[in-house]
Structures are given as structure tokens and as C-alpha cells.
């Protein structure tokens, strides 16, 4: 046992002096997590990332209608400039339609809103005249376009109601034998009064957001992303550490170790032990670094250790059994990259932070050690108690132990 431990410690020292290994195992997951954190707006806040308002060039060619005249085109633009829409739509007035369209073509604006001449007349008309505005937008706006169309359509719906009000009023007055002049005046008055609801609605909606602590907002999503990175790179580090057995076999170092008085099983046991210890060291450093650099609150230390231990055992076992199938380092590279990437995706490591993930993927994740490790960390980040963490940690440890034993037997048979 003393000789095996000495071999393992030697491998740990080599790992700590291997700059590429340190860059891949420690720097890469932290840098990737930091970049994702910046994309989400940082780790400190609990809200969603700020959405940039849609830049709109607006031009009103309408001159109004009615007596006194009411300019519904001007009213539409003013409504979109109110504080309720300011965070979604940024309106800038344009001199004419060509200028507004040109701003979109040059990508100086996301869209152009054009209110045509005669718009107010068409809205207040009791005939079949159609009233419509033109929305000219950049193709790149496709994902945010519903925000803009929703804001504009909300006002236009009120105008549609005003036209219906005018038509109903005209029909009622006509049934009572009113003159054409009185009908036109009454319909226009009803339409104008109803149109005012576009800016002063009598019936509205108050939107309230469920108040959540910061840990359940963006910071919680980023903490799960951090956990996904931790699990991903822990498995890769375990695999690359196990790969050193094949490298030393190819360079002749392993054969020289076999010529020492130590038994081959002892030498091989030391190499396999180093896989576990290096992985444990790397994962522990990442957990501490995530807490210090990104403010990730992992939770109860006992729970952190339990989940971490399960992860390390699973990663070590997976790497040993995976590398036992490789005959050389070239095959090992394909196995490490392909198998761990597929299992990582199946385990949900690359979809952390995404909303509305299909439920079937949650079920698929339970067939992988990575999926159970991710479940353990999600429970940990949600503040679950130690008993709730036992199941995912135990499954990771059991799977890892079985895989480690199977891989060890293959290696021992190969180097017997």
C-alpha cells in the first residue's frame, strides 16, 4: 500500500507541474463559466439580463380627422413613447417614409413604423375602408419582432374597437330615423371617444412577478452552469489522468516500473489510485474557486463533500473503464472526446440554465453518471438537506465503484 501511495503521489506532483493539464482542468472551466456569466449579465444580480429596446424610426403622414380634428397616427406614436413601452421600444421620429426605411437599410434602426396619410379618416369611417400602418423591419429582428408587433397591435386593437363603436352608433341612429349629418357626427364622436382608450384604457392588466431571492434568479442559473462545467471537466481530467497509464506503457516507463521489486498489481494500483486523487484535488479546487470568484453558494459543507465524493468516484470509475478499452493513446483520444461528450450531453451538462427542456431529457440523464451528479448539485444549490443528497451521491458512487472495478480487472489482465 505504501508503494502504491508513493506512485500516486508522484503522479499528483506531475499533474501539478503540467501546465497544459492545469490550464485544461482548472483554468478552462473557470474561464468558460466567467464568459457565460458575463453573457448573462454577471453573477451578482438575481434578475434577468437587460433586454435592449427595439430601435424604431417612426413617421406620421396622417393629418387627422373629425371636428375638432383627432390625429390617431400621432396618438399611436405618443402611446409607444410612454414609459410603459420605453423599456421595449425606442421611438425616434423621422422626416419622411424614405428616411425611415433608409435607417433600417443602413442598420441604424431595427424597424420603421409608417402611419400613412388618411389613417384617422379610415379608422373613423363607417364604410369598408381599411386602416393599416406599415412596419418595415430588419430580418435580424425576427426573434424580437413579436415584442414590437405586440406593442403596436395593442394600440391598433383599441382603434379597431373605436371603429366598431362608430359603426354600432351609426346603425342605432339610423334605426331611429336620424339624418345623415347627425349619423356621421354621432359615429365620429363615438369613434373618437373609444379611440382615447388607446392612451387611457379603462380596463387594464397589472403584471406582478413572483418575488424570489437572488439565488433563484440569474445567479441560480449561473451556479448550475458552474456545476455543469465542474462535472464536465472533472470527467475529462479523470480520463486524461487515466490515459497516463497508456502513455507510460508506450514510452516504456510502465515496463521499467514493473521491473522493480513491487508487484505489478501494486504498481497498477498506484496508477489507478492517482486517477482518484488527482480528480479529487481538481474538483475540490474548482468548488472552492467557484465560491471565491463567482460567489456560488454550494450549501452545507457536509452536503458539498458528499456530492463531490460521489462525482469523483463516478468520474474515476468511468475513466478507468473507458481507457481499459483503448489499446493506445490515439484510440484513447477518440474514446475520451466522443464518449464523454455524448454522455455529458445526455446527462444534461450542456443544457444547464436552459428553460423548458423536454422532460424526456431529464429521464435520459438518469441513465448516465453525469446526470445523477448534475441532479445532486442541483439539489445542493437549492438548499436541500443531507438526506435528499444521499440518493444521487450513492448512485454516482455505486456506478463509479462498479466501473472502476471492471476497468481495473481489464488493466490487470492486460499487464499481468
Q: What phi and psi, each to the nearest 5 degrees, are found at residue 117?
A: -65, 145
Domain boundary among 145, 167, 198: 198
Last residue of a domain, one of 172, 198, 224: 198
Same domain, 223 and 175: no
Lowest mean pLDDT among 29-33, 70-74, 359-363, 412-416: 412-416
- The residue ranking higher by pLDDT, 201 or 240, is 240
For the stretch 26-45, pLDDT in tens is: 888 888 877 876 765 555 54
| pLDDT tens per residue, range 86-103 | 778 999 999 999 999 999
Is the separation of the CB atoms in 42 and 214 below 8 Å?
Answer: no
Number of independent structural domains in the chain: 2
Please check the confidence at residue 172 and state whether its pLDDT lies above 60.
Answer: yes
Instruction: Report if residue 208 sits inside a domain.
Output: no
Check whether 391 has a pLDDT greater than 60: yes
Average pLDDT over every residue of 197-210: 46
Q: What is the per-residue pLDDT for 231?
A: 94
- 372 and 284 within one domain: yes
48 has pLDDT over 50: no
324 or 33, higher pLDDT: 324
Helix/strand/coil percent split, the chain, to 5: 70, 5, 25
pLDDT at residue 139 greater than cutoff 60: yes
User: Residue 197's pLDDT is what?
Assistant: 54
- Backbone dihedral region for residue 4 (phi beyond 0: left; psi -120 to 50: alpha; all else: beta): alpha
Taking residues 214-228, what's their average pLDDT?
Answer: 72
- Find where cell 373629425 sits: 66
* Containing structural domain, residue 377: 2-45+214-414
Mean pLDDT of the chain: 80
pTM above 0.85, yes or no: no
| Residue ending a domain, choose from 136, 163, 198 | 198
Does 110 reside within a domain?
A: yes
- pLDDT 10s digits, 150-161: 888 877 777 765
Handedness of CA 175, 178, 179, 183 (dihedral sign): negative
Question: Which among 204, 202, 205, 182 has a CA at the least distance from the CA of 194?
Answer: 202
Tell me if 255 is assigned to some domain.
Answer: yes
Is 204 within a domain?
no
Task: Mark whether 331 and 405 lie in a shared domain.
Answer: yes
Give the pLDDT score at 234: 93
Based on the fold, state whether residues 143 and 225 are members of the same structural domain.
no
Give me the pLDDT at residue 268, please: 78
Whether residue 209 lies inside any domain: the answer is: no
The answer to the question of residue 188 being in a domain is yes
Strand partners, 91: 56
Report phi then psi at 54, rounded to 5.
-80, 125
CA separation, residue 299 to residues 292, 302, 358 (Å): 14, 9, 28
Looking at residue 383, its pLDDT comes to 86
Same domain for 119 and 40: no
Transcribe 366-380 into DSSP letters. TTSHHHHHHHHHHHH
Give the C-alpha separation, 318 to 242, whole Å. Answer: 10
Q: Are residues 191 and 281 in the same domain?
A: no
3-class SS of residue 54:
strand
What number is the average pLDDT over the span 77-81?
Answer: 88
Do 277 and 376 lie in one domain? The reply is yes
The C-alpha cell that represents 302 in the structure block: 457536509
Same domain, 62 and 155: yes
The average pLDDT across 128-147 equals: 82
Residue environment code for 183-192, b if the CB has 16+ CB neighbours within 10 A, otherwise e: bbbbbbbbbb
| Same domain (yes/no): 376, 307 | yes
Whether residue 205 lies inside any domain: the answer is: no
Q: Based on the domain organization, do 264 and 410 belong to the same domain?
A: yes
Domain-located, residue 223: yes
The confidence score (pLDDT) of residue 309 equals 95
CATH code of the domain in which 150 resides: 3.40.190
Average pLDDT over every residue of 75-92: 85
Same domain, 384 and 261: yes
pLDDT band at 167 (very low <50, low <70, confident <90, very high): low
H helices of 17-144, in order, are 19-22, 28-40, 72-80, 83-86, 97-105, 119-124
**pLDDT of 213:** 46
Residue 112's SS3 state is strand
**Residue 114 and residue 86 in one domain:** yes
Amino acid at each position: 500500500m505504501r508503494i502504491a501511495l508513493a506512485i500516486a503521489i508522484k503522479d499528483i506532483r506531475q499533474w501539478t507541474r503540467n501546465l497544459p493539464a492545469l490550464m485544461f482542468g482548472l483554468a478552462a472551466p473557470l474561464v468558460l463559466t466567467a464568459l457565460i456569466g458575463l453573457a448573462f449579465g454577471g453573477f451578482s444580480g438575481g434578475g434577468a439580463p437587460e433586454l435592449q429596446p427595439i430601435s424604431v424610426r417612426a413617421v406620421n403622414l396622417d393629418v387627422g380627422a373629425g371636428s375638432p380634428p383627432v390625429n390617431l397616427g400621432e396618438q399611436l406614436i405618443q402611446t409607444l413613447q410612454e414609459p410603459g413601452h420605453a423599456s421595449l421600444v425606442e421611438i425616434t421620429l423621422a422626416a419622411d417614409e424614405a428616411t425611415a426605411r433608409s435607417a433600417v437599410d443602413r442598420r441604424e434602426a431595427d424597424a420603421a413604423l409608417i402611419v400613412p396619410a388618411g389613417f384617422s379618416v379610415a379608422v373613423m369611417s363607417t364604410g369598408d375602408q381599411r386602416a393599416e400602418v406599415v412596419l418595415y423591419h430588419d430580418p435580424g429582428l425576427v426573434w424580437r419582432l413579436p415584442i414590437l408587433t405586440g406593442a403596436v397591435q395593442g394600440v391598433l386593437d383599441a382603434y379597431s374597437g373605436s371603429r366598431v363603436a362608430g359603426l354600432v352608433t351609426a346603425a342605432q341612429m339610423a334605426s331611429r330615423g336620424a339624418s345623415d349629418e347627425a349619423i356621421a357626427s354621432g359615429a365620429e364622436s363615438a369613434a373618437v371617444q373609444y379611440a382615447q382608450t388607446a392612451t387611457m384604457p379603462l380596463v387594464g392588466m397589472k403584471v406582478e412577478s413572483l418575488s424570489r431571492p437572488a439565488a433563484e434568479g440569474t445567479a441560480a442559473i449561473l451556479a448550475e452552469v458552474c456545476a455543469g462545467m465542474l462535472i464536465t471537466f472533472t470527467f475529462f481530467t479523470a480520463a486524461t489522468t487515466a490515459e497516463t497509464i497508456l502513455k507510460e506503457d508506450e514510452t516504456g516507463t510502465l515496463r521499467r516500473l514493473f521491473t522493480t521489486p513491487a508487484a505489478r498489481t501494486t504498481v497498477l494500483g498506484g496508477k489507478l489510485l492517482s486517477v482518484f486523487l488527482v480528480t479529487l484535488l481538481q474538483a475540490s479546487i474548482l468548488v472552492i474557486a467557484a465560491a471565491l470568484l463567482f460567489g456560488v453558494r454550494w450549501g452545507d459543507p457536509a452536503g458539498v463533500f458528499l456530492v463531490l465524493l460521489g462525482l469523483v468516484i463516478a468520474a474515476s470509475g468511468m475513466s478507468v473503464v473507458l481507457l481499459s478499452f483503448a489499446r493506445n493513446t490515439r484510440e484513447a483520444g477518440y474514446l475520451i472526446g466522443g464518449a464523454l461528450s455524448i454522455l455529458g450531453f445526455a446527462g444534461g451538462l450542456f443544457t444547464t440554465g436552459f428553460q423548458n427542456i423536454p422532460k424526456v431529457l431529464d429521464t435520459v440523464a438518469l441513465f448516465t453518471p453525469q446526470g445523477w451528479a448534475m441532479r445532486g448539485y442541483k439539489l445542493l444549490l437549492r438548499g436541500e438537506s443531507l438526506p435528499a443528497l444521499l440518493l444521487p451521491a450513492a448512485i454516482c458512487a455505486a456506478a463509479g465503484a462498479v466501473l472502476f472495478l471492471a476497468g481495473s480487472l481489464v488493466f490487470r489482465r492486460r499487464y499481468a
